[in-house]
């Protein structure tokens, strides 16, 4: 609980004929965090496994499969059926066959749609042609007359006929308003066109059709369009039948290919020598026997598993390899593990800070957001998020756990403050501790907030000291500004300050206790230099002088950072009390508005209804706004004031190789995984 899960390195030796099936089973069980096996070979006997060509082939097949699934409208989330043994050539042949049948229907549909589009345009022209019942052939073969059809505004038609006089004949076509037929001799054509243009005449050319009239041609095209529509629907039904016939097969093939691709990518981490493969990785100590059993079952007992504890691994002890980290603890800690992981991960040889984060965060939140009713609402929301049967992301469920802890903490602090949904009446609900709105309690509230910060800061420094000792960095554990000397300075300075406040005097021994750790911290650099010389790591004389000067400058800067860091870090926790006061003040403002409404003596039930609405709406705003503020401030204090003292976040996450697809059974080659 206070340390990451104990890890072991496993080196698995298997024959080539077993490696693909074993890799697939390892991916399904998710037991091993894979690492580069070649780098584990001290004598560099292993060669890299090159799967790049096979990966490209599989990616191409998956892309083809995806395009077919999308084209056929197959539900990608559907459960794929069980598929028999298939090699890559079989898969390629199946995809080619399905694509050929789909492409045939798709090309037919495309051609039918093009034909339909052309006919639709021609039909639209025919439908709007002015002379629906006039024989079109007669309009095209006139040698002595100029004849044109078009549109002319009805309002100007009489005037146009008068102006044109005997030069032409204007006939309104088929009773359609605005559609006219113009007949004139060919010698008057240009004059007629010029006059017509002045009246806004728009000519319409006779459509090209074999039918006698535009109306007959239009009816024929309607019949042709209906035939095309039926043909398109028939082709689409064939595509649907194709989807029903091959949709499940495509899903199963894609699942199989994805699993096989994951296997090939995992095998890039393997090492190979002749027909022997080496798989290296990290697994929790509790899963070692499961790995042994898995290897034995999938290699006919021929596989060999070497297990090395992380503490005994040569590369780890030499600092050449980091051990992946897996959080320990139950599900109740997962929301706070999320907070830690958002900043970074502890290193394997460090203390897991999750419990400290969980305790400190909920206390800080409750301190700032203390209210029985509002805290209960947050806890209820968190409980719903945690227990709901609706499909919500996992991180939302974890956030629900975080809200439960923060809400319960806020409710407990609400009991201490005597606040229920922002209402404070100490005759009904007395404050068990103090009230943020009581001017006599404000100083104590702020002082308590600083005291909480002192406790949390001290715990953070103690964790840092433990981490240094666990990493066998004993010198840093003592002389670091957040080490033993830094902690002693912090405590002695606080003790001297309290002594001065209580007695009004500062004894010389107290001053000496404060100065002594600072002097030792200032001597950190020279002591390190002496230790290096004793280890016979002496630099040249000129560089030695420059090194001493640099050490003195760095020591002075670090001393100033130590002083300012402890002061600012401690004072920063005043904000916890300040936000508790602002939360109470905002709630007080809500009930002040209610009091104003009461004094206005609004007749009837309106005043009571308005008061209830304001109380409910105001509490919703406070829960949302102040809850968010308290959450942000709590995270800020954790990350910037506490993590900076003991947590680097440089750890590597334990990410076991996993295959998410289902019902996959990749084919195996007896000679090679490729």
Residue 29 lies in a domain: yes
Residue 432 lies in a domain: yes
Residue 121 corresponds to which tokens in the numbers above? 């345009």
Domain identity same for 382 and 365: yes
Residue 405 corresponds to which tokens in the numbers above? 């802890």
Please report, for residues 53, 453, 458, 493, 642, the alpha-carbon distance to residue 566 in angstroms, rounded to integers and kept in the order given: 58, 11, 11, 10, 11
List pLDDT tens digits, range 233-275.
999 898 888 888 888 888 888 888 888 899 999 988 899 888 8
Domain identity same for 251 and 347: no
Domain identity same for 378 and 426: yes
CB of 418 within 8 A of CB of 429?
yes
| 99 sits in which H/E element | helix 88-127
Torsion angle in degrees (nearest 10) through CA of 7, 8, 13, 17? -20
Domain identity same for 312 and 348: no
Q: At a CB cut-off of 8 Å and minimum separation 6, what does 137 contact?
A: 212
Q: Quote the pLDDT of residue 453.
A: 94
Buried b (16+ CB within 10 A) or exposed e, 463-481: bbbebbeeeeeeebbbbbb
Domain identity same for 416 and 499: yes
Domain identity same for 353 and 421: yes
Residue 115 lies in a domain: no
Bridge-based pairing state of the strands 652-653 and 324-325 = parallel
CB of 105 within 8 A of CB of 275?
no
Instruction: Please identify, among 283, 300, 325, the residue that sits at the C-terminal boundary of a domain.
Output: 325
Distance, C-alpha 307 to centroid of its chain? 36
Phi-psi region of 326 (alpha: psi -120 to 50; beta: other; left: phi over 0): beta
Residue 320 corresponds to which tokens in the numbers above? 């050449």
Domain identity same for 65 and 173: no
Closest C-alpha among 561, 35, 614, 107 to residue 322: 35
Residue 362 corresponds to which tokens in the numbers above? 């909920």
Bridge-based pairing state of the strands 304-309 and 7-15 = antiparallel
Phi-psi region of 49 (alpha: psi -120 to 50; beta: other; left: phi over 0): beta
CB of 663 within 8 A of CB of 252?
yes
Domain range for 65 is 9-85+243-325
Residue 97 lies in a domain: no
Residue 297 lies in a domain: yes
- Measured CA to CA, the distance from residue 10 to residue 301 in angstroms comes to 17
Task: Show the 3-state SS of 400-455.
Answer: HHHHHHHHHHHHHHHHHHCCECCECCCCCCCCCCCCCCCHHHHHHHHHHHHHHHHH
Q: What are the DSSP calls for 198-267, one per residue?
A: HTT-EEEPPP--SSSSHHHHHHHHHHHHHHHHHHHHHHHHHHHHHHHHHHHHHHHHHHHHHHHHHHHHHG
CA angle 139, 145, 149 (to 5 degrees): 45
Q: Quote the pLDDT of residue 602.
A: 62
Residue 435 corresponds to which tokens in the numbers above? 């009230």
Q: Quote the pLDDT of residue 206.
A: 64
Residue ranges in the chain whose pLDDT is less than 50: 538-546, 663-674
Q: Quote the pLDDT of residue 290.
A: 94
Domain identity same for 317 and 428: no
Q: Whole-model pTM?
A: 0.75
CB of 175 within 8 A of CB of 143?
no
Instruction: Please identify, among 295, 310, 325, the residue that sits at the C-terminal boundary of a domain.
Output: 325
DSSP-derived secondary structure letter, 171: E
Tell me phi and psi for residue 106, to 5 degrees: -65, -45
Instruction: Please identify, among 206, 230, 264, the residue that sits at the C-terminal boundary of a domain.
Output: 206
Residue 412 corresponds to which tokens in the numbers above? 């407990």
Domain identity same for 68 and 144: no
Residue 230 lies in a domain: no
Domain identity same for 256 and 185: no
- Measured CA to CA, the distance from residue 512 to residue 514 in angstroms comes to 5
Domain identity same for 485 and 624: yes
Q: Quote the pLDDT of residue 63.
A: 92
Residue 410 lies in a domain: yes
Residue 112 lies in a domain: no
Domain identity same for 384 and 294: no
Domain count of the chain? 3
């Amino acid at each position: 609980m206070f340390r990451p899960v104990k890890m072991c390195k496993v080196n698995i030796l298997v024959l080539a004929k077993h490696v693909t099936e074993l890799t697939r089973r390892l991916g399904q069980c998710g037991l091993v965090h894979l690492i580069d096996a070649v780098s584990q070979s001290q004598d560099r006997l292993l060669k890299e496994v090159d799967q790049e060509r096979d990966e490209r082939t599989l990616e191409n097949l998956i892309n083809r499969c995806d395009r077919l699934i999308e084209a056929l409208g197959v539900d990608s989330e559907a459960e794929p059926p069980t598929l028999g043994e298939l090699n890559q050539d079989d898969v390629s042949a199946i995809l080619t066959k399905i694509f050929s049948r789909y492409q045939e229907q798709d090309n037919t549909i495309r051609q039918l749609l093009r034909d339909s589009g052309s006919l639709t345009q021609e039909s639209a022209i025919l439908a709007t042609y002015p002379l629906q019942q006039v024989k079109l052939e007669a309009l095209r073969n006139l040698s002595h007359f100029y004849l044109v059809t078009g549109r002319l505004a009805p309002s100007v038609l009489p005037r146009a006929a008068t102006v044109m006089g005997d030069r032409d004949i204007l006939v309104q076509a088929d009773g359609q308003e605005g559609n006219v037929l113009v007949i004139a001799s060919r010698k008057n054509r240009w004059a007629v066109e010029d006059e017509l243009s002045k009246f806004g005449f728009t000519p319409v050319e006779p459509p090209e059709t074999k039918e006698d009239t535009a109306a007959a041609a239009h009816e024929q095209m309607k019949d042709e369009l209906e035939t095309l529509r039926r043909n398109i629907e028939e082709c689409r039904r064939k595509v649907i039948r194709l989807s029903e016939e091959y949709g499940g097969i495509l899903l199963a093939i894609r699942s199989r290919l994805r699993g096989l691709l994951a296997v090939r990518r995992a095998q890039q981490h393997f090492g190979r020598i002749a027909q022997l493969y080496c798989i290296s990785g990290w697994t929790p100590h509790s899963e070692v026997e499961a790995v042994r059993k898995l290897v034995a079952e999938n290699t006919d007992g021929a596989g060999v598993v070497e297990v090395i504890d992380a503490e005994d691994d040569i590369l780890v002890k030499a600092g050449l390899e980091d051990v992946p980290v897996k959080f320990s603890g139950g599900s109740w800690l997962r929301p706070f593990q999320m907070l830690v992981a958002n900043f970074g991960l502890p290193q394997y040889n460090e203390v897991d800070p999750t419990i400290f984060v969980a305790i400190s965060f909920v206390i800080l939140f409750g301190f700032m957001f203390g209210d029985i009713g509002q805290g209960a609402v947050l806890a209820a929301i968190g409980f719903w998020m945690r227990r709901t049967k609706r499909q919500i992301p996992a991180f939302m469920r974890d956030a629900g756990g975080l809200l439960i802890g923060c809400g319960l903490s806020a409710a407990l602090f609400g009991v201490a403050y005597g606040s229920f949904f922002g209402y404070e009446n100490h005759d009904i609900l007395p404050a068990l501790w103090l009230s943020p709105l009581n001017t006599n309690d404000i100083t104590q509230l702020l002082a308590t907030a600083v005291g909480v910060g002192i406790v949390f800061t001290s715990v953070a420094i103690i964790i840092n000291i433990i981490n240094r000792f666990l990493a066998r960095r004993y010198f840093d554990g003592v002389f670091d500004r957040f080490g033993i000397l830094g902690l002693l300075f912090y405590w002695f300075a606080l003790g001297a300050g309290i002594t001065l406040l209580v007695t009004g005097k500062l004894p010389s021994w107290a001053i000496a206790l404060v100065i002594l750790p600072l002097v030792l911290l200032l001597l950190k650099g020279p002591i390190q230099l002496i230790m290096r010389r004793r280890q016979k790591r002496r630099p040249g004389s000129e560089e030695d002088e420059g090194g001493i000067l640099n050490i003195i400058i760095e020591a002075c800067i670090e001393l100033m950072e130590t002083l300012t860091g402890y002061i600012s870090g401690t004072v920063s926790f005043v904000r916890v009390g300040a936000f508790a006061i602002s939360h109470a003040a905002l709630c007080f403002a809500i009930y002040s508005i209610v009091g104003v409404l009461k004094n206005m003596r609004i007749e009837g039930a309106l005043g009571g209804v308005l008061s209830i609405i304001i109380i409910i709406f105001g509490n919703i705003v406070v829960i949302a706004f102040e809850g968010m503020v308290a959450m942000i401030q709590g995270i800020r204090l954790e990350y910037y004031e506490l993590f900076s003292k003991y947590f680097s976040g440089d750890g590597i996450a334990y990410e076991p190789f996993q295959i998410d697809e289902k019902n996959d059974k990749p084919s195996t080659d007896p000679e090679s995984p490729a």
